[in-house]
């Protein structure tokens, strides 16, 4: 019994010494490739591979399919949750297509683009050129409104690509762009610099006379600019 107790005490003392020395793994005389075991068994993704963008799927080539896609696709930049997106409205074969940058803050509750106070002004503008909501087609560059209240510049090329395709499928006789963001994205010009001018929208085989003008919400805040918009409207209806 004494020998056993002595042996146990000696072993415990030896183990304690090794622990104090920092040894916490028992090894035998056979070499073990510890570093090899630490290497991951699956292929890792290099930083270069991680930065590769996912290939964009072709846009729907049918107008009904495109409008449905705009309401559901999660990869449309700045569009946000599908439940808060606003669909284009009006007559899809209308001679006049109107495009804004994005829904206003109250449009989700109203369920339509250009609602509230902006709606009254917008409908009066349409009336002045002999149109009404049901006779035109109204769409947005982005079907959703980002929390910042503005579209990021980095998102504009993709949104413009989608919008050009949208316009090409509608093939309107005239195009009316409301707001500086959408006019810069589609024409490369600012609405302030293009008042009263008629531009050409070119995409594939489509060539559409286009006017870039102030958005209704801008006019509500800057009523003195309404006279300049009248010049846009004259250019818009010329030849319609």
What domains sit in the chain, N to C, each tagged with a CATH number? 63-237 (3.40.470.10)
Decide if pLDDT at 229 tops 70.
yes
With 60 as the cut, is the pLDDT of residue 190 above it?
yes
Spatial distance between the Cα atoms of 116 and 106, rounded to a whole number of angstroms: 7
What is the mean predicted confidence (pLDDT) over 82-111?
93
3 state DSSP class of 201? strand
- Tell me how far apart the alpha carbons of residues 54 and 74 are, in angstroms, rounded to a whole number: 13
CA 142 vs CA 68, 100, 227: distances in Å: 14, 9, 28
Mean pLDDT value across residues 157-186: 94
Separation CA 174–CA 201 (nearest Å): 9
The pLDDT value recorded for residue 159 is 97
Does the pLDDT value for residue 83 go beyond 90?
A: yes
User: For residue 144, what is the DSSP state?
Assistant: S
Q: From 101, 226, 233, 223, select the one nearest 155 (Cα to Cα).
A: 101
CA atoms within 13 A on the CB side of 237: 13
Nearest to residue 177, comparing CAs of 169, 168, 187?
A: 187
The predicted model scores a pTM of 0.74
**CA neighbours closer than 13 Å in the CB half-sphere of residue 228:** 17
């Amino acid at each position: 019994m004494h020998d056993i107790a002595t042996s146990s005490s000696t072993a415990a003392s030896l183990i304690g010494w090794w622990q104090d020395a920092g040894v916490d793994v028992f090894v035998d005389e056979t070499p073990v490739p510890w570093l090899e075991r630490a290497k991951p068994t699956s292929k890792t993704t290099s930083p270069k591979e991680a930065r590769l963008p996912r290939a964009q799927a072709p846009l729907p080539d049918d107008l009904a399919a495109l409008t449905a896609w705009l309401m559901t696709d999660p990869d449309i930049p700045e569009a946000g949750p599908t439940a808060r997106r606003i669909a284009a409205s009006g007559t899809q074969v209308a001679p006049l297509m109107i495009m804004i940058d994005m829904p206003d803050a109250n449009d989700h509750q109203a369920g339509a683009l250009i609602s509230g106070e902006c709606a009254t002004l917008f409908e009066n503008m349409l009336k002045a050129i002999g149109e009404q909501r049901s006779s035109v087609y109204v769409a947005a560059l982005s079907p959703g409104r980002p929390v910042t209240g503005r579209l990021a510049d980095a998102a504009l090329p993709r949104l413009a690509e989608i919008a050009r395709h949208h316009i090409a499928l509608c093939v309107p006789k005239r195009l009316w762009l409301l707001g500086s963001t959408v006019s810069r994205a589609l024409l490369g010009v600012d609405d302030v610099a293009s008042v009263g001018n008629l531009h050409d929208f070119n995409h594939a085989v489509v060539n559409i006379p286009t006017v870039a003008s102030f958005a209704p919400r801008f006019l509500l805040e800057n009523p003195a600019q309404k006279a300049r918009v009248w010049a846009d409207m004259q250019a818009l209806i010329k030849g319609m």
